[in-house]
Amino acid sequence: MLLADYQKYCMSFNGVTEEFPFDDVTLVYKVKGKIFSLCNIEEFKSVSLKCDPDDAMAQREAFKAVIPGYHLNKKHWNTIKLGEDVDDDRLREWTADSWELAARGLPKKVRQELGF
């Protein structure tokens, strides 16, 4: 997947913003202020996504491209190395799951505004 395609996909979710809160190359996607995806725009070789802890472990066991979240809470985040054994459809699925997990942690009123 190309960076532009990934950006377009992330922005297709309700309530999403693109930000660079850490540096000039780490692109962060947030839903109403909660991070659900991170990637490097200079070297788009991986994406870090929020995960349910049980799913995170299962993904790591099933795919060599999935490792514990780089510089993130290893229990709740996975980093997916692009171009290995995870196809674009699965990356989109996991990104949607990550958005949902982040959105689920928002206050009820905000979730309702998102249609969630």
pTM assigned to the model:
0.93
Dihedral, CA of residue 28, residue 106, residue 94 and residue 44, to nearest 10: 0
Residue 68 host element (H or E): strand 66-68
Half-sphere CA count of 7, side-chain side, radius 13 A: 10
Spatial contact of 30 and 19, defined as CB atoms under 8 Å apart: yes
Per-residue pLDDT, 74: 86
pLDDT in tens, 24-67: 999 999 999 999 999 999 999 999 999 999 999 999 999 999 99
CATH topology of domain 3-106: Aspartate Aminotransferase, domain 1 (3.90.1150)
Q: How many whole angstroms separate alpha carbon 11 and alpha carbon 87?
A: 20
Instruction: Band the pLDDT of 15: cuts 50, 70, 90.
Output: very high
Residue type, 66: V
